[in-house]
A = this chain, B = another copy of it.
Amino acid sequence: MDAFKPNNYLEELDPIEIVDLIEKSSLEDRIVIFNHLPAELSSTVFEFLIFSLQKEFLDALPSEQGAKLLNDLSPDDRTAFLEELPSQVLKELLKLLSHKERERTLKLLGYPENSVGRLMTPDYIAIKADWTVTEVLEYVRKYGHYSETISVLYVIDNQGVLIDDIDLKDFLFASPTDKVSTLTGDKFIALNVNDDQENAILIFQRYSREVLPVVDNQDILLGIVTADDVLNLMQDENTEDMQKVGGLEALDAPYMDTPFLELMQKRAGWLIILFIGEMLTATVLGFYQQEIEKAVVLTLFLPLIISSGGNSGSQASSLIIRALALGEVTLKDWWRIMHREIFSGLFLGLILGIIGYFRITLWSVFTDMYGPYSHLVAISVGLSLIGVVLWGTLSGSMLPLVMKALKFDPATSSAPFVATLVDVTGIIIYFTIAYIILQGTLL
């Protein structure tokens, strides 16, 4: 119990410091600390905790206390928490919510996963066009406490259709008797509730907004999304992409908080798939066994050639994956990308091919390790490098587009996947070129 100090010590900390303290404590201490927090502080701290700890507390605390925590969470944070749970647990927890909160939660959970609907909060302030500025400010004073943000107010008509969003500051600058309708324009930006969350990121970024309204297909205002929620979402999406590009399934929790077996599960799956794919290299090399026996010197450059294909492929795929994620390119650009990458592949392949050629030619001046036909070997390696780098670049850039077209995540395991593909085909390219050039001499 060395982490725990009396109540008044806790009150001096800010919520994040308490979160740090809790994360570093043992399970037992955590509960004690949490129980000692003043009521309103405990809600804030709960909101900042990572999912696994939130779940731990809800399991450990008496159900009235758990119910209070859940009911106090802001609707968007509650949705984020609940959507991580298995459906059985979810059902139990929904029972803890008040009737009103349960209804709101079920509504939010009703939107598809990864949709803007799951991200929004219904806590916004809606006003009518025929109100005066004074009436609006009165209304904000009365109801603003319950709203996630009041820096922007939303003008709706009697059917709930969004007419405009107006900065609170515009009301401060306006004359008290002005009608809201004198402040509305005819342009506003809104997210659609069924939009993909990634799309929301792009819109937020593009328009530099701090909060955006969410509407349905009939333009009826349903909620708002704030920039800080998008910030979190963006970090999560980027983490997922980075992990997928690295050739593993995205983790659900931070690296250190992921249990060992779960970590292995996320890593072993793709590693085995790639391993089985890579077994094809052994099969393909088996076909060339006779050639290898005749010209062992060829094997010396095998890793060099296939890794160059893998490296150029991983460059191309990470460029295209990122450009897709940022909306800089779309599927329609495939031909422009392919055109660009064919020239890139040729250019880069030529550079490596020339270096490779001179490396072998130069070495053979000092050593006869590469045999009497070292010059022909050098040409074979040089040409193979051009072919393999071109092929690596091309498949690295096209694979993410193919994945996207097939509705998969372009990031999924792409770099190692391209490397495996290029390894297998690179061997074929290498031995085919070598066979043509060395026929009658070494082969």
Residues of chain B within 8 A of A322, CB atoms compared = 239, 242-243, 255
The reply to whether A275 and B352 contact each other, CB–CB distance below 8 Å, is yes
Residues of chain B within 8 A of A416, CB atoms compared = 310-311, 314
Given the interface contacts A144-B172, A415-B314, does A228 sit within 8 Å of B208 by beta carbon?
Answer: yes
Q: Mark A108-119, 1 if CB is under 8 A from B, else 0.
A: 000000000000
By size class, the interface of chain A is 35 or more
Q: Which residue of B lies closest to A186 (CB)?
A: B12
Interface positions of A from 250 to 267, Cβ below 8 Å from B = 251, 254-256, 260, 263-264, 267
CA distance A201 to B243 in the complex (A): 20
Q: Is A420 an interface residue (CB 8 A)?
A: yes
Residues of chain B within 8 A of A169, CB atoms compared = 140, 144, 150-151, 168
The reply to whether A255 and B323 contact each other, CB–CB distance below 8 Å, is yes
Oligomer copy total: 2
Minimum Cβ distance to chain B for residue A321 (Å): 7
From the candidates B208, B301, B320, name the one contacting A255 in the complex (CB within 8 A).
B320
Minimum Cβ distance to chain B for residue A153 (Å): 11
Minimum Cβ distance to chain B for residue A242 (Å): 5
Given the interface contacts A239-B322, A301-B282, A307-B278, does A315 sit within 8 Å of B247 by beta carbon?
Answer: yes
Q: Is A106 an interface residue (CB 8 A)?
A: no
Given the interface contacts A169-B150, A326-B254, does A310 sit within 8 Å of B419 by beta carbon?
Answer: yes
CA distance A419 to B311 in the complex (A): 9
The reply to whether A315 and B172 contact each other, CB–CB distance below 8 Å, is no
CA distance A367 to B304 in the complex (A): 29
The reply to whether B318 and A246 contact each other, CB–CB distance below 8 Å, is yes
Given the interface contacts A172-B140, A227-B210, A355-B272, does A247 sit within 8 Å of B285 by beta carbon?
Answer: no
The 6 lowest CB-CB distance pairs between A and B, nearest first, are A246-B318, A151-B151, A227-B227, A281-B303, A255-B323, A208-B228
A binding-site residues for B, Cβ under 8 Å: 14, 16, 48, 137, 140-141, 144-145, 149-151, 168-169, 172-173, 187, 189, 201, 204-211, 226-232, 234-235, 238-239, 241-243, 245-248, 251, 254-256, 260, 263-264, 267-268, 270-272, 274-276, 278-279, 281-282, 285-286, 289, 292-293, 296-297, 299-304, 306-308, 310-312, 314-315, 317-323, 326, 328-329, 333, 336, 340, 343-344, 347-348, 351-352, 355-356, 359, 369, 415-416, 419-420, 423, 427
